[in-house]
């Protein structure tokens, strides 16, 4: 026998979010999210961690504009719980919150959007699930994927990884030539991934990048807030 969904269960939350998104303020929410995306420069991608809320709060206050939770090892209900922690911390500090891979759970947890990869739910399906007023991001790793993204219903793309990373074992780095290509041809705002750190940011920016995804430089830092502040200072120094 299936237990009824409680007032705070995923099904009830999904119904409340869907009702709210259908209201008169939905277009304004979409405009607000896209306006903030246009000015976003520093994007954190993190797995779950014991101090998730505190970590997201610290780095968002220090300059992170978008927080993505990328967690592959939790069941759906646990992921919803942890997503709520990251969402609340990001929103309280003024950052957008995006969930990786799962547009259904992104809607259920009231995320600002979802990020999907080339092998995940197609971007068009993610858009149908989320509707027009939440963000959809798409990973690209090659010129053909970047070109194809122009015809997808996405708000931004990622380009990379510039260097091989543990996040995607076996995927080769694209090098800076792909950053240069994205800067010349991307029809969407693009965020560079792979090896972004205070030490590498200047070279990546010189190749044409203005938006950056950071993983290990923040998630493995002894003082994440200090590193986020330094990244923000370096990014702002490159100009708008």
- Is 109 exposed, middle or buried (CB count within 10 Å of its CB: 0-12, 13-18, 19+)? buried
67 and 56 in contact (C-beta within 8 Å)?
yes
Question: Measured between alpha carbons, how far is 220 from 236 in angstroms, rounded to an integer?
Answer: 23
Q: What does the pLDDT average to over 38-55? A: 98
For residue range 2-11, list pLDDT tens digits in order: 444 444 554 5
Residues 191-209 as b/e (b if ≥16 CB within 10 A, e otherwise) read bbbbbbbeebbeebbebbb
107 and 122 in contact (C-beta within 8 Å)?
no
10-237 architecture in CATH?
Alpha-Beta Barrel (3.20)
Q: What does the pLDDT average to over 214-218? A: 98
Locate all alpha helices (DSSP H) within 119-223, ordered by sequence: 123-130, 143-149, 176-185, 201-206, 216-219
For residue range 116-158, list pLDDT tens digits in order: 999 999 999 999 999 999 999 999 999 999 999 999 999 999 9
For residue range 10-31, list pLDDT tens digits in order: 455 555 554 444 443 567 899 9
pLDDT band at 171 (very low <50, low <70, confident <90, very high): confident
pLDDT band at 184 (very low <50, low <70, confident <90, very high): very high
The domains of the chain are located at: 10-237
pLDDT of residue 108: 97
- The model scores a pTM over 0.75: yes
Question: Measured between alpha carbons, how far is 221 from 224 in angstroms, rounded to an integer?
Answer: 5
Query: Dihedral angle at the C-alpha atoms of 5, 9, 15, 16, nearest 10 degrees?
Result: 130
For residue range 82-94, list pLDDT tens digits in order: 999 999 999 999 9
111 and 87 in contact (C-beta within 8 Å)?
yes
pLDDT of residue 191: 98
């Amino acid at each position: 026998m299936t237990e009824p969904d409680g007032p705070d269960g995923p099904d009830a939350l999904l119904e409340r979010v869907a009702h709210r998104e259908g209201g008169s303020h939905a277009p304004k929410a979409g405009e607000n999210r896209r306006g903030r995306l246009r000015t976003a420069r520093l994007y954190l991608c993190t797995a779950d961690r014991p101090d998730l809320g505190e970590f997201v709060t610290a780095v968002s206050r220090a300059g992170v504009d978008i927080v993505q939770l990328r967690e592959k090892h939790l069941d759906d209900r646990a992921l919803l719980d942890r997503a709520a922690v990251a969402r609340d911390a990001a929103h309280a500090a003024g950052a957008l919150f995006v969930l990786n891979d799962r547009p259904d759970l992104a809607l259920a947890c009231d995320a600002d959007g979802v990020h999907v990869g080339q092998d995940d739910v197609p971007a068009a399906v993610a858009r149908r699930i989320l509707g027009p007023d939440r963000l959809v991001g798409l990973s690209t790793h090659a010129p053909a994927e970047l070109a194809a993204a122009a015809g997808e219903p996405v708000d931004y793309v990622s380009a990379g990884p510039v260097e091989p990373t543990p996040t995607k074992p076996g995927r080769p780095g694209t090098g800076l030539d792909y950053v240069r290509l994205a800067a010349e041809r991307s029809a969407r705002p693009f965020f560079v991934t792979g090896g972004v750190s205070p030490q590498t940011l200047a070279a990546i920016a010189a190749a044409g990048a203005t938006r950056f995804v950071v993983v290990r430089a923040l998630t493995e830092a002894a003082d994440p807030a200090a590193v986020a502040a330094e990244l923000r200072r370096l990014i702002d120094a490159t100009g708008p």
